[in-house]
Amino acid sequence: MKILMKTIQRRHPEIEIFKVNTDIDHIHLLVSLSPKMAVSEAVNILKTNSARMMSKKFPFLKHVYYGMDDGIWSPGYFVSTVGVNESTIESYIALQGQEDSGQAQLALI
């Protein structure tokens, strides 16, 4: 992730990545964008660059995701803006995946 962050910030200084955390099937980012940049444009840049870097580092991925037109990432994304309580979002990203692991499992009888 550090390589991705450096690459994005060097090529796209209007995107500033503050926090990154991953879970089994998704990733959370705390990002600041230039007011002139659309969120969809930033998501496209992040997904395109990260997919390109992962494909280079892990060539087997092209066989795993064979037939998918746009590669590794799903087409959707969720965005929420941060207001006065940025620390809540930072905490959520840092603890991602830990809250779900302690929940009771559904038992089928």
In the residue annotation, 77 being an active-site residue is answered as no
The CA distances from residue 87 to 16, 83, 92, in Å, are 17, 10, 9
Tell the burial category of 100 from Cβ atoms under 10 Å away from its Cβ (0-12, 13-18, 19+): exposed
Phi, psi of 103, rounded to the nearest 5 degrees = -80, 155
How far is it, in rounded angstroms, from Cα 75 to Cα 47?
9
Q: Which of 65, 66, 77, 92 is catalytic?
A: 92
Q: Tell me the Cα Rg of the chain.
A: 16
Supply the residues annotated as catalytic: 92
